[in-house]
Structure 1
Amino acid sequence: MKQFLSDLRLLYVNLKKTFTSWKMERQLKKEFFQDFSLYNSMASKGMEAGVRELRPCLWEKTSFTKIEPIYFYQDNWAFERILKQRPSDHVDIGSHHKFVSFLSMTLNVTMIDIRPLSLPVNSLSFKEGSILSLPYDSESIDSLSSLCVIEHIGLGRYGDEIDPLGSEKAFTEIDRVLKKGANFYFSVPVELEGRVFFNAHRSFSENYLLETLHNFEVIDKKYIYGEKFETTLRDGFGIGCYHLQKKT
């Protein structure tokens, strides 16, 4: 019953956001055409905006610069922690390309992904591969990151095979390739009880994560709830950011 009420509240919030968005969009379209008319009334001959060239950008008249909190917080957190360790080589599996490319400007970074990047990055080495079968020998990596990746494994969203234990197998494979004492940085959705949001992602309870990763000790952990970056796990959907070190 408690879960049903929680899901019902979430549905209400999402529907409210949708209807509010529709109302705002109507107003923004009205303002857009008012601005279009005003611009053309002020423009000299040859500088008018044509109808065929209209490219409406409706959502950027804001009083502040909107930042997507998950990638902003987790990428900054991981970047800082990796730089503090200064590994001679770092491996990333499937994290956001901006995070990996910026990190590669400061360290030797190899990115692993099932799909090659569509653009070259000179400072970044790339290997096509799967998180379930990494192209590395056992206990060969000192430093590894995988941000907002592992929760997707096994759901088929990115062309991977359906496997209800995909995330667990990914953790096992990462454990295999990391040396004793190696640093592992990752983020996944966390809740007090794990769920499957097919085919978007899974969420995990922290107890389950740490039991699965029993060969590691926690060095640092942070949580993203909405627009807040916090140090304490609490009820509700969030993103857990974990820096673990493999036990020696």
Structure 2
Amino acid sequence: MPHDTAFSNSLTGVKSKGFSGFLVYGPYIEIMEAMTYAVELSYITTNKKGTYAGKFDINLSKRKEDNTFDFIKAEECFLEFTDTKIKKATLYFDSSTYIGYKVEFRVFVETGIDLYAFQIQTGKVDKPHFYYHDTTVCSQLEAEIDVFPRKYQRLRIILFRIRAIAIQPRVIFKNPVLLKKSLQQKTAKLLDKVKAQIISCIRSIDYKEGDIIEVPVRIDHLPRQLKNQFYKKFEVINAESLCDDCYGIHPLQLPLVCCKYMPRNEYGLYQRVWTQEMVKELRALAKSKNDYSCEGYRGSVLQHYAAFDKIQVEGKKTMVIGSVSPWLECILLAYKAKEILTIEYGTISYDGKDIKVLDRLKQPLPPPETYDIVCSFSSIEHNGLGRYGDPIDPEGDLNTMNEIFNVLVTEGIAVIGVPVAVNNVLVGNGHRAYSKEYIENHLFKILDIVAYPYGATKVNYTKDKTDWQNQPVFIMQKPLCRLPHSLVSIVS
């Protein structure tokens, strides 16, 4: 494709040299039929100057009878800075009124910006692409890039360049299979040589306390010091799997009532937006002791009815740790709790006053000994795994128990549900499951287990290592004299 500004063209794609102009434009394909086009640009910027890195647009042209040209700009969008991460810009346009025009896609770069344009993938909406770009050869490298510490910037750029070898734009109209085979043959040999060295380099980097690990991340892709700490305590299975809940909530995690009110994003996932109408309806269901448990945690609501029937909730200050919807908070409201504070990794939008919310990543925790009851269900086992945007911390679950211990008043109550199993299991970056021995002697050691909603005999330490839905609730009390985990390890 043509260029009208200084550029370098290598296996990395097309890179600007700091001068403004069209880095890429073309390829002047004639529109033959009415359809809706989807055009997607993949690019990276490695510096930041001004408001935007540039523009991406769709330009149409047609030769008129007098040999002059008619130019039309169909669609455009600004290119945001990517901070060395691959980003995509997508445009859509309807060609029904432009039959006979020639279409070109243009990437305009601003002065002083270093921008890599990797691929422009184009096709009919809901139809196979007529541009083909092979990224399968480098798919494994992408995960390695995402977890690479930001401070090793030079090697991050090398990784991006290696990945880009296989995604240069190629225009095809007849045989995508042959093109794909050709691309793979040309790139596979070089990739095989460098891939093992780069991955080895990443995994052997000396991790220092305070280094930023970008999340979510596969457990097996962590620096070895962190990875070994997870392997010491847990049998790790599916270490290559990746759970990413930073972008939204899966419907299985929500009561059907909440799905009516909470908006979805472009990925089809629900957002943490709570409304007073939703809380009102959930509270009414809780008052009548209706089982509105979500599909993923059947019986969880009934467990909490049984738990709160055993303790005094009315008039108490309560806290909920980890919440994607206010189902648990509304049970506390139905039991007439005096105050409810919800703590979550991420921002919760709520327009009511009966539930307060706190973003754990941005706001400090409440002072010690301020809450009578702390509740948490299906949350502690995730802490420190990065699945929900929280920092990587092999001791994340124990540190959360320390926080619960600190905010509870003496003889305060903790109502906590976690997955249990015969042995300690870590399922990728998804969740932990705890054995009976670990729960009693480590996780809940700083509290006294005083009751179970359905009795101790109903707790099933399952042999199924991946059964994340088996989450019994434990009712515990903060004793008169007990040290938190951090001090227990020091004095023992």
* TM-score range relative to shorter protein: 0.5 to 0.7
Alpha-carbon spacing, 1:214–1:234, altered in 2? closer, same or farther (3 Å) = closer
State the match for 1:114 in structure 2: 345
Match of 2:476 in 1: 244
Which protein is bigger by CA-based radius of gyration? 2
**Counterpart amino acid of 1:241?**
V
- SS of residue in 1 equivalent to 2:409: strand
Point out the more displaced range, 101-110 or 159-168.
101-110
Amino acid at match of 1:220: A
Contact 2:378 2:418 in 1 (8 A): yes
SS at match of 2:302: helix
Letter in 2 for 1:78: H
Q: Report the AA paired with residue 99 of structure 1.
A: L
Shift of residue 189, structure 1, vs aligned partner: 0.7
Q: Which sections of structure 1, spanning at least 5 residues, go unmatched?
A: 1-6, 8-65, 224-229
Counting matched residue pairs gives 177
Q: Say which SS state the counterpart of residue 369 (structure 2) adopts.
A: coil
| Kept in 2: contact 1:222–1:232 (CA 8 A) | no
Deviation at 1:69, TM superposition (A): 6.0
Matched, 1:235 2:462: yes
Higher percent of residues as helix = 1
TM-score by length of 1: 0.62
Q: Which residue of 118, 123, 126 corresponds with 2:354? A: 123
Residue 218 of structure 1 is matched in structure 2 by 449
Which blocks of at least 5 consecutive residues in structure 2 are unaligned?
Answer: 1-236, 238-291, 465-469, 481-492
CA displacement 1:42-86 (0-9 Å, x = unmatched): xxxxxxxxxxxxxxxxxxxxxxxx975663422332244336412
Higher relative contact order (CA 8 A, sep 6+): 1
Query: 2:383 & 2:461 partners in 1: Cα distance?
Result: 25
CA RMSD of aligned residues (A): 2.8
Distance 2:421 2:453 in 1: 13
Code of the aligned partner of 2:316: S
Contact 1:134 1:173 survives alignment (8 Å): no
- CA–CA separation in structure 2 for the residues paired with 1:203 and 1:158: 17
Contact 1:101/1:123 (CA < 8 Å) preserved in 2?
no
Shift of 1:160: 0.8
Task: Determine what percentage of the aligned residue pairs are the same residue.
Answer: 23
Structure 1 counterpart of 2:397: 167
1:91 maps to 319
> Compared with structure 1, are the counterparts of its residues 232 and 147 closer, same or farther at alpha carbon in structure 2 (3 Å cutoff)?
closer
Out of 186, 191, 199, the position equivalent to 2:416 is 186
SS at match of 2:463: coil
Q: Tell me whether 1:75 sits opposite 2:301 in the alignment.
A: yes
Shift of 1:206: 2.1
Q: Contact 2:382 / 2:431 at 8 angstroms: preserved in 1?
A: yes
Do structure 1's residue 142 and structure 2's residue 368 form an aligned pair?
no
* Structure 2 counterpart SS, 1:202: strand
Go from structure 1 to structure 2 and tell me whether the alpha carbon gap of 1:187 and 1:67 turns closer, same or farther (over 3 Å shift): closer
Question: Offset at 1:158?
Answer: 0.7
**Which whole-Å CA distance do the structure 2 matches of 1:161 and 1:113 have between them?**
13
Q: Aligned in 2, Cα 1:77/1:150: closer, same or farther, shift over 3 Å?
A: same
CA distance in 1, matches of 2:358, 2:305: 21
Superposition pairs of residues 7-22 of structure 1, within 5 angstroms: none
Change (3 A) 1:218 1:134: farther
Q: Distance in 2 between matches of 1:69 and 1:219?
A: 29
| 1:27-38 equivalence runs, <5 A | none
Given that 2:306 and 2:453 are in contact with CA atoms closer than 8 Å, whether structure 1 keeps it comes out as no
In structure 1, C-alpha distance between the alignment counterparts of 2:364 and 2:471, rounded to whole Å: 25
